[in-house]
Amino acid sequence: MRLRPERFERYLAFLSSLLPIGLLLSTVSLFSSALLAALILFVPEFQAPAQAQSKESVDCKPSNDKKYQGYIIRQTALNQGSVTTYLCPTCWVLKTAIITVAGDHEKDTVVAYTRATNKYLSDSLQKGMKRFSGFRRGGDFAWGPPKKIGQTKWHDEDVVIVERKGRRTDLHTKNDVIITEKLLYATRFKLSKAYEMVAFSLIDVDCSYGLPLRIERMASSKNPRYCTLRPVVVQDTLSIKKMTFKASDFAVPRGLVKVKTEIDLFSNDEGAAFDPAGADLRSKARKLNMPVD
């Protein structure tokens, strides 16, 4: 299709009339871009939102970002199974298969929770020590005074050796059976009185000489049937590692319900309760003719 000369001339005239408008729009667009760039670079008000966001991300960190340097200690206990301890200068955690207890000396708090009922308790350290003293079941042994008998190296740890003798108080053994217990303590770990009380109540260990790393028992009697040929390991240490902990490692997990008494802590919604010291486990062990302490 070919345009006639008079139409072609009118088409060119129309395009020429549009050219100033296009140039004007291009000029306005370039001016607007330059003005916006200048405002961002030189006007403080346009920089304030970015500065506020940066300051919030750097200076307003949540409290749970706090870090703690310490040790994680994994052990096994005959009457509790797996036991894990977090030890830091100002806080600690003691975990067993049934209950977890955490103490914070900066906040003066001790909390205990169990996944068996998804409940927790919270007290001051002083009140918590009194409460946990009642957690301990009646002992199966009547021990004499402990005696330090030496010191040695055990898995690269400097330990002191403590010995004590006692008798069983239950009805499953004869009264003439003497139990000799040997304990290896690591003295470099500083334990608080609150931790010592909780450890004594939950896993039945004496921490007065330090952190118990290994506990062995031997039985002697006039009747050979009640004598042990080799030591029975009551508690053993699997590993000791340096660790950087987060604040959340010492906090109660989300979703747990706060209660006021230890009875509520160990009671489910139907009102049934269980023994935090593991009486069911000990009962099953006795039926299988296994050592229970």
Question: Per residue in 138-195, pLDDT tens?
Answer: 567 888 999 999 999 998 899 999 999 998 876 565 567 889 999 999 999 989 999 9
Mean pLDDT of the chain: 76
Between CA 77 and CA 88, with CA 83 as vertex, the angle to 5 degrees is: 130
Between CA 12 and CA 5 the distance in angstroms is: 11
Between CA 293 and CA 233 the distance in angstroms is: 10
What b/e string do you get for 269-293 counting C-beta neighbours within 10 Å, with b at 16 or more?
A: eeeeeeebbbeebbeebeeeeeebb
Q: Which of 7-16, 113-122, 175-184, 251-260 has the lowest mean pLDDT?
A: 7-16
Helix (H, G, I), strand (E, B) or coil at 240: strand
Domain regions of the chain by residue span: 5-59, 65-287
Q: Residue 109 is encoded by which pair of tokens?
A: 């708090």
Is pTM, for the whole model, over 0.75?
Answer: no
The confidence score (pLDDT) of residue 266 equals 86
Q: Residue 225 is encoded by which pair of tokens?
A: 């049937």
Q: Which of 22-31, 57-66, 90-99, 199-208 has the lowest mean pLDDT?
A: 57-66
59-104 residue pLDDT tens: 223 345 689 999 999 999 887 889 999 999 999 999 998 899 999 9
Q: Residue 238 is encoded by which pair of tokens?
A: 């699997």
Name the CATH code of domain 65-287 (choices 2.60.40, 2.50.20, 2.60.120, 1.10.3470): 2.50.20
Is the pLDDT score of 19 beyond 80? no
40-60 residue pLDDT tens: 444 444 444 433 333 322 222
The confidence score (pLDDT) of residue 51 equals 37
What's the whole-number mean pLDDT along residues 19-35? 48
